[in-house]
Amino acid sequence: DLDRILKDNKNASIIDIYINSPGGDVFEGVAIYNILKRNRAYKRVWVDGFACSIASVIAMAGNSINMPKSSMLMIHNPWTYTVGNANELRAMADQLDKIAEPMVEAYMSKFNGTREELKNMLDAETYLTAEEAFSFGLCTNVVEDTEQTQTNAEEGIDSTVNMYSSKHS
């Protein structure tokens, strides 16, 4: 559906993506991330509440990732329910490690740190405030909650979009 919507609006220069999600299916989320990444429009992500699990991966598709101080990201390794004998359970653990790699790559495209630091955070199931996400590079703008929040955010984003548009015209 997302691919169709983007194709129907292929001349859009800006896409606003609003996220408030506990997460979902890693396979769908990675596809959404990749569909957004290949789109030429400037992508503004707004974390309206929580971007948890695969929703935090989708957020990484943004050229700008905006988080109000009252929002959070949560990152962790993929998980599943499984049944089977010891060999099947070991095989599933290996598969989960492979399934985690596209997620790690998405985070590393923004992350200000080492792969090992990121993997430790994923292992720990880490909740990040907007300021923490910003310090790790997983957010580009912490939005202050004032009466001027909307105006300040729009002015800052508009200047970024104008700079981006002039580079890609």
Cβ neighbours around 40 below 10 Å, total: 12
Question: Which positions ≥6 away from 3 have C-beta within 8 Å?
Answer: 35
State the catalytic residues.
53, 76
DSSP result, 137-160: TS-SEEEP-STTHHHHHHHHHHHH
d(CA 154, CA 159): 9
